[in-house]
């Protein structure tokens, strides 16, 4: 049995954590894999600023640093913020996956230009950060926002009638005005809108939580992990190992 630690980079109540876990539908997770969703941190945040993004990095590092010792085969940060991913790749030998990086790279397999469909403009720095790091700014056609602050407790539950049409409208604009040929949901909290959008839009719509999970699965199966030449382990850990 392979275990994957799925870290939500904000503290959420148990019911909300169950909503996050529901993004992996029945039948998607193989019988030989167990996924544990855990919430990180203690201060409620929405990743609305560089300050809160830094808090999320710290929370994820604390929640994930012991994953290898706990027997996990991989770690996934369940947020398009990719909070703490680089740090955990340095600290751990098991694969560490961030949905933003994984989904943008997957989009490049499927089309020439992708757009990110997001809840509000305050998340724009999350996507710019990863696109710049991966050299993909020229492939990102646009970031389209519906101007609705996120709800990390209820996600999109109860908001389908009001939010889904707004997302569809901005998605159509991304296609018609920005030249997008692939769309990315801008948050793992938006997964409930995926089927609605995929059924109505003429281009692929990528659900980042599922793509990140599948990336973990593939790396486990292939016996691959991040290069320690690229993500050098802290000297303190190397000395302890000796």
**In which band, very low, low, confident or very high, does the pLDDT at 46 lie, cut at 50, 70 and 90?**
confident
pTM of this prediction exceeds 0.85 = yes
Read off the CATH number of the domain in which 165 is found.
3.40.50.12500
Domain of residue 146, residue span: 100-207
Q: Are residues 104 and 194 in the same domain?
A: yes
Read off the CATH number of the domain in which 71 is found.
3.40.50.1860
Over pLDDT 90: what percentage of the chain? 81
The token pair at 121 is 């403009």
pLDDT at 154: 55
Cα 197 to Cα 135, 172, 183: the distances in Å are: 28, 10, 10
Q: Are residues 181 and 216 in the same domain?
A: no
pLDDT at 42: 86
Q: Are residues 87 and 15 in the same domain?
A: yes
Name the DSSP class of 202: S
Secondary structure class of 39 (helix, strand, coil): strand
Q: Are residues 8 and 80 in the same domain?
A: yes
pLDDT at 239: 47
Average pLDDT of the chain is 92
Does the pLDDT value for residue 43 go beyond 90?
Answer: no
Q: What is the pLDDT of residues 179-222, one digit of tens each?
A: 999 999 999 999 999 999 999 999 999 999 999 999 999 999 99
pLDDT at 224: 98
What is the spatial distance between Cα 111 and Cα 90, in angstroms, rounded to a whole number?
31
The count of structural domains within the chain is 2
Q: Are residues 104 and 198 in the same domain?
A: yes
Beta bridge partners of residue 38, listed in sequence order: 7
Mean predicted confidence (pLDDT) in 20-28: 90
Q: Are residues 190 and 235 in the same domain?
A: no
pLDDT at 155: 59
Asked whether 170 and 163 are in contact (CB, 8 A), the reply is no
pLDDT at 149: 83
Q: Are residues 165 and 84 in the same domain?
A: no
């Amino acid at each position: 049995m392979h275990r994957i630690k799925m870290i939500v980079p904000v503290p959420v109540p148990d019911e909300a954590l169950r909503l996050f876990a529901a993004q992996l539908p029945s039948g998607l997770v193989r019988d030989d894999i167990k996924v544990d969703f855990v919430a990180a941190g203690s201060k409620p945040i929405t990743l609305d600023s560089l300050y809160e993004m830094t808090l999320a990095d710290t929370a994820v590092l604390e929640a994930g640093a012991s994953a290898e010792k706990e027997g996990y085969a991989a770690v996934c940060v369940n947020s398009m913020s990719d909070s703490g991913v680089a740090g955990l790749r340095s600290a751990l030998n098991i694969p560490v996956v961030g949905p933003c990086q994984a989904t943008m790279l997957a989009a490049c397999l499927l089309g020439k230009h992708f757009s990110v469909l997001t809840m509000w403009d305050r998340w724009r720095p999350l996507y710019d950060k990863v696109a710049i790091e991966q050299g993909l700014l020229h492939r990102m056609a646009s970031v389209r926002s519906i101007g609705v602050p996120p709800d990390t407790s209820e996600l999109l539950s109860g908001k389908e009638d009001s939010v889904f049409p707004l997302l569809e409208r901005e998605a159509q604009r991304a296609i018609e005005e920005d030249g997008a040929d692939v769309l990315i949901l801008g948050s793992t909290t938006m997964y409930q809108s995926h089927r609605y959008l995929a059924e109505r839009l003429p281009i692929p719509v990528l659900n980042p939580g599922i793509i990140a999970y599948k990336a973990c699965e593939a790396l486990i199966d292939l016996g691959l992990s991040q290069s320690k030449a690229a993500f050098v382990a802290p000297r303190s850990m190397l000395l302890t190992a000796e």
